[in-house]
Amino acid sequence: MAAAVGEFAPALAGAAGLGPAALAALDGRLAAATYLVGGSLTLADLAAFAAAHPAVSAAGFDPAGVPHLARWFDLVQHTADPGGAFPRVQLCPAVATPLEAAFAALKVAQGGKGEGSGAGDGKAKGKGKAKGGGAAAPEAKVAPTAAAAAGEGADGHAAPPADEVAALRAAKKAEKARKQAEKKAKKGGGAEAEPAKDPDVSLLDIRVGHILSAEQHPEADGLYVEQIDVGEDAPRTIVSGLRKFVALEAMQNRPCVVLCNLKPAKMRGILSSGMVLCASNAAHDAVEPLAPPPGAAPGTRVTCEGFPGEAETNLRKMDKVFKAVAPDLKTDSQGMAGFKGVPLATPQGACVAASLPECEVR
């Protein structure tokens, strides 16, 4: 193989272009072959492609006069993808017939499985029960058709060699992969995707809230149902498990801190659209809602310096995001809430749970 390539390549690589006689000779050589040497693309094909390109890309080139060369040329330009050095030449009309013959050959090779029920069918369909409830008829075996025996496809064209069929299928697969890659590149704007970062507090939409009213949950002894202003057109209904820790009177007209981008969930029949953030000790027998700094208006976002970013808008992801972030939400020795030691704050100051220092925030 190497010797054949070495012999063939120099003869074509140095040519400025192939004339009509050379093109005809090359067409004859490719009449019964997919590639010039062996069953795969080699240096000989690339050298011949380079030499033939000036003539094939010329305005007066007639693909019908050298159909085998046209088919080979189109295969190489789509398989090797030479790019800007050799602009692609539109040869679809010339390669249409060989492609039809290739697919016809595939039908013959598969026993005539295809559309229609004429002479091209390799098997008679005899499966299923006969009318009247009798036993299924045995499958009838039919001898190969004359076209198949002669190596012809269903449309009368000569069936190409098996290696040519395989090459056409490989070229089609490569072209599909190329188009998918181009589509993906366009969708991504051509830029490499930024590596995914670990979830942090910037993904949480934490806002200053104000509890307008709170009442006992009618179906649960440990729950309150609150109406909370978080800076939106209407207050949010939020259900909190604070009934055992905070008196109902203390829940009225109370500033609070709310996690707003959790997926709404029903709690004993009432849809809750957020969570009041609280500090809790390890035994979970003491709980205090976080208090925002004085002067912070409802709807003000609570952030951490050094953790910039927009809040996650896909609420389906927030359960996992909050579970990843929550272990680093804690109060410090002064009861100041923070993420990894950085205060949860607004421009007016930090959020606190004064009675529960060194505790988790949930």
User: Token pair of 128, please?
Assistant: 């299923």
Q: DSSP string of 225-262? A: EEEEE-SSSSPEEEEES-TTTS-HHHHTTEEEEEE--S
CB atoms closer than 10 angstroms to residue 230? 22
DSSP SS3 for 327: helix
β pairing state of 337-339 and 342-343: antiparallel
Please report, to the nearest 10 degrees, the dihedral formed by the alpha carbons of residues 273, 276, 277, 283 taken in order.
-110
Using only C-alpha atoms, the chain has a radius of gyration, in whole angstroms, of 37
pLDDT of residue 334: 95
The rounded distance, in Å, linking the Cα atoms of 31 and 145 is 25
Say which amino acid occupies 14: G
In terms of pTM, does the model score above 0.85?
Answer: no
Instruction: Render each residue's pLDDT in the chain as its tens digit; 362 residues.
Output: 565 555 555 555 554 567 888 888 888 888 888 888 888 888 888 888 888 888 888 888 888 888 888 888 888 888 876 666 778 888 755 444 455 555 555 555 555 544 444 444 444 444 444 444 444 444 444 444 444 444 444 444 455 556 666 767 777 787 788 788 778 777 655 445 555 568 999 999 999 999 999 999 999 999 999 999 999 999 999 999 999 999 999 999 999 999 999 999 999 999 999 999 999 999 999 999 999 999 999 999 999 999 998 998 888 888 899 999 999 999 999 999 999 999 999 999 999 999 999 999 99
Work out the angle between the directed axes of helices 67-79 and 162-187 (0-180°, nearest 10): 40
Q: What is the pLDDT of residue 360?
A: 96
For domain 201-361, the question of CATH label 2.40.50.140 is answered with yes
Number of H helices, E strands in the chain: 9, 17
Contact 11/48 with Cβ under 8 angstroms?
no
CA atoms within 13 A on the CB side of 95: 20
- Would you list the domain boundaries of the chain? 1-116+144-177, 201-361
Evaluate whether 73 touches 56 at the Cβ level (below 8 Å): yes
Predicted local distance difference test score (pLDDT) of residue 5: 59
pLDDT at residue number 126:
43
- Which alpha helices (H) appear in the chain, and where do they start and end? 2-13, 20-29, 43-56, 67-79, 92-109, 146-149, 162-187, 248-251, 318-325
pLDDT of residue 137: 44
